[in-house]
Chain A
Amino acid sequence: MTTDTGHVTHEGPAPARGLRRVTAPGFLRAAWMAPLFFGIGLGLVVFFRRLAGWDPVFDWTIIVAVGALTTAPFGFLGGIGVFDYWLRYVSGAPTRPEDHSSHGARRWQDYFRVNTDHKVIGVQYLVTTFAFFIIGGLLAMFFRAELARPGLQYMDSQTYNGLVSAHAVLMIFLFIIPAFAGLANFVVPLMLGAPDMAFPRLNALSFWLLPIAGIMFISSFLAPGGAFAAGWTGYPSLASGAPLGQTIFNLGVQWAGASSILTALNFLVTIITMRAPGMTFWRMPLLVWANFTTSLLVVIATPFIAGSQFFVLFDRVLHTNFFNPSEGGYVLGYQHIFWFYSHPAVYIMMLPGFGIVSEVIAVFSRKPIFGYRLMALSLMGILVLGFSVWAHHMFVAGMAPWLRVPMMVSTLLIAVPTGIKIFSWLATMWEGRLHFNTPMLFALGFISMFVLGGLSGIYLGSVPIDIHASDTYFIVAHIHYVLFGGSVLTIFAGIYYWFPKMTGRMYNERLGKVHFWLTFVSFNLTFFPMHWLGLRGMPRRVSDYADRFGDLNLVITISSFALGASTVVFFYNIITSWARGPIAVSNPWRSMTLEWQVSSPPPIFNFDEIPQVVGGPYEYGVPGARHAVMSGGAAGALQETHP
């Protein structure tokens, strides 16, 4: 893929030769800097333990935590060159802010190095997260194979627990959250009329933190004692005494969390300070609004999961007693701190999807979005309410009983802003000219499945039913209806919708529809029976189960394999279309938002001249309406065709 601006062909930095290759930024330098920094970490641990007179001096639990999981990744990051510019800057050495040699991609190899172009970073994010999506999905199929029949067939319970935990962690921290960040990375600066993100080098750093976390989580399978197996929630006291894999979880979450926080900070600053002239907050596309609120959630909430994992880590390696009741610790404190992040996290995993669906529904209904301001405000409403509901995950945990009812009320209140969004989407489609392209199908699939997930959420938010259904497959059904039926379907909608813009080529519409229907049907066959299993009392997170659940579990396992197979269609479509699909025009969907007013793929700095925004982003079918005036007068502004 080339990014030719039309004026100048940008060549990358000249490849280093000979010995210079060892010291030039790249994987070769990372290959020796990571071990070097591991050695530094090891040296620090040994030095301080000897200084303090602690025995043994070589404590491998601490050396792994400090050397392998903290300092070595810094060595890797330094090696690939993430810090080069900053190190020159802070040491007072001359820097070249106008140096854009690490900006943009001319060859496919440019996607495998530190790149400051938000479009390249967006693609890097998406390819990486889909790689982890495949791994996470395969893990799920392993343990579904185990669950096909009662009894233990292929693995022991510890391995099973490790598979379940790693599946959840990869899907949450390495797929859903960063896949949205990747889509937004590509689209948000374009939608704002900005040449890049506010901090391009920070953006590159945020991306490269992510594979570190993912590789840690996967490598935990190789640790003595197996992968972390205390669930993705990692509750102590179970987590406090678990084998080494749990330490890897504790620190892997920190790397993924840091990535998310830095990206969110970058989005917020970009959205606040880099909007095109005329782009007021009330003229921003809803995807930008969605990422604005999501980023606020990330910046405010994510430090809490960092804290919770630090405490467990300290309990494990420094023998503190944060969660050890016999030494004055308060074990429920973990759950409060953890869920104070992890409940807002479900909105971090959903709000960007709301934004994608708003774009898709308006464009494919050829109508202005219904209740634009209320759509934006309801996002803010969800943000505020989202911080007041965390203890509904703890109704049966033994917390103070008086907390139950307030948490139930605030939980049910979230149905109000969410309902506003659902009804606004329906009203947008009402009497619209619907086009059932693949993105639209996924958006419609999302709405129907998310409503189902929301309904089971109302059940689970109510204290009496939650007490009955806690820790059963009803929970598993609910979470997959909101995270797969919700988030993942919107990610697919977004991928198909922006695929022509990202790659400059069209995907295969027929295969896209096949993918949708296979996914939609097998998804329901997989997860709908789980409601029934849960209400009949099948516990979750258990490798074996009573014989009477056998038949339905077999159905679920077969369907889950069909669900896995459906993604093969997706990957085949994406890969072949990316390689040799038909060339896409700049605006195949006749959309009004700014990213479609530039070429596909966009020029290296997005806009030759910053566009002037003159109206709302969704004025489809409104005669004479304009969202923006591009350089060169009327060129680029959408001419709405009338029936």
Chain B
Amino acid sequence: MNAHVEAAEHHHGPPVANQSSRVSATVLGMFLFIASEAMLFGSFFAAYFFVRVVNPSAEPWPPEPFHLPVFVAGVNTAILLTSSFSMHWALQSIKRGNRAGMKAGLVLTFAMGLAFLLTQMIEYAHVGFNTGDHAFASVFFGLTGLHGAHVFVGLTLLGMATVRAFRGHFTPEHHHGVELPGIYWHFVDIMWIVVYATIYLL
């Protein structure tokens, strides 16, 4: 292969596809992924309500002798809610070209997400029952565990965004790498509100 062909190959990419929608492909993809994830949560909620509502033996709820640390989980909820605001701040900062704000926002969000996850692990260790105890324990660990797994995935995405932010990536024009983890993080946050309300409050 001679140099000329090599040079030609280097520049020969696909023709630019026609953009037939105002939504960007990556954002739409993330929303569809979230729709799918929401349905996965749906199946876990279905299992929860089958055990709690449809099952004739589920009175009272939670069944004796189980009880849940509503207050600690409430504090944890506040931590996760706050992290959504700091995430929003990080995204708004890079949109305005404020790199320091983006970095601070990402680090804060990551720290609060990590705090949430650690608190939940400590809660598991002290909750006083195990996976094998009763269907109540199954649906409790099922829903909170599924959510915990999503927090973990969200933290991984945030970690990647943080690494790239500190390595000088992202500009006011190009910040999908912050925006997409942000969308996912808000989803994880909103999902937690539903999970918390269902399991601890309802």
- A interface vs B, CB < 8 Å? 5, 7-11, 90-92, 98, 100, 193-196, 198-199, 202, 261, 265-266, 268-269, 272-277, 279, 299-304, 306-308, 310-311, 314-315, 318-322, 324, 327-330, 332-333, 336-337, 340, 605-610
Contact = CB atoms under 8 A, between A and B. Distances in A.
Contacts of B40: 303-304, 306-307
B95 to A, nearest CB: 20
B51 interface: yes
A330 B55 contact: yes
Contacts of B58: 328
A322 B139 contact: yes
B201 interface: no
A327 B134 contact: yes
Interface string B4-19: 0100111011111111
A198 B54 CA distance: 43
B142 A609 contact: no
A605 B42 contact: no
A276 B15 CA distance: 12
Given A303-B36, A321-B134, A328-B51, A273 B25 contact: yes
A302 B36 contact: yes
A333 B17 contact: no
Given A9-B5, A301-B39, A308-B43, A320 B29 contact: no
B20 A279 contact: yes
Contacts of B163: 90-92
B70 interface: no
Contacts of B24: 273
A193 B20 CA distance: 11
B20 A265 contact: no
Nearest to A11: B1
Which residue of B1, B14, B24, B51 has the most chain A CB atoms within 10 A of its CB atom? B14
B135 A306 contact: no
B13 A98 contact: yes
Which residue of A8, A91, A193, A330 has the most chain B CB atoms within 10 A of its CB atom? A330
B43 A304 contact: yes
A320 B143 CA distance: 13
Given A10-B9, A274-B20, A307-B47, A330 B54 contact: yes
B131 interface: yes
B169 interface: yes
Nearest to B136: A328
Top 9 A-B pairs ranked by shortest CB distance? A307-B43, A328-B135, A333-B50, A320-B138, A303-B40, A92-B167, A90-B160, A319-B132, A195-B14
A514 B177 CA distance: 55
A202 B32 CA distance: 14
Contact of B42 (A261, A303, A315, A608): A303
Given A272-B23, A336-B46, A336-B50, A304 B39 contact: yes
Given A330-B50, A610-B15, A322 B142 contact: yes
A320 B12 contact: no
A142 B21 CA distance: 51
20 contacts: A5-B12, A90-B164, A92-B163, A92-B169, A194-B18, A273-B23, A273-B28, A279-B20, A299-B39, A300-B35, A304-B46, A320-B142, A321-B132, A322-B135, A324-B135, A328-B58, A330-B47, A337-B47, A340-B43, A607-B15
Given A199-B29, A301-B39, A272 B15 contact: no
Nearest to B22: A273
Nearest to A195: B14
Nearest to A295: B32
B46 to A, nearest CB: 5
Contacts of B63: 328
Contacts of A330: 47, 50-51, 54-55, 135
Contacts of B136: 328
B36 A300 contact: yes
Contacts of B131: 314, 318-320
A588 B140 CA distance: 60
B44 interface: yes
Nearest to B163: A92
Nearest to B164: A92
Nearest to A270: B25
A207 to B, nearest CB: 17
Interface in B85-113: none
A41 B33 CA distance: 26
B25 A304 contact: no
Nearest to A280: B20
Given A304-B43, A329-B135, A608-B15, A11 B36 contact: no
A320 B137 contact: yes
Contact of B35 (A8, A98, A299, A336): A299
Given A198-B29, A322-B47, A330-B55, A272 B39 contact: no
Given A269-B29, A320-B137, 10 more contacts: A92-B169, A269-B32, A272-B28, A273-B21, A275-B18, A303-B37, A306-B40, A319-B131, A328-B63, A333-B47
A301 B43 CA distance: 10
A10 B6 CA distance: 9
Given A194-B17, A265-B32, A299-B32, A337 B25 contact: no
A261 B46 CA distance: 20
A607 B57 CA distance: 63
Contacts of A329: 51, 55, 135, 138
A315 B141 CA distance: 12
A483 to B, nearest CB: 24
B174 to A, nearest CB: 12
A8 B8 contact: yes
A325 to B, nearest CB: 8
Given A199-B29, A269-B25, A328 B142 contact: no
Nearest to B45: A307
A269 B132 CA distance: 42
B43 A610 contact: no
Nearest to B145: A314
Contacts of A607: 15
A8 B5 contact: yes
Contacts of A9: 1, 5
A322 B32 contact: no
A514 B185 CA distance: 57
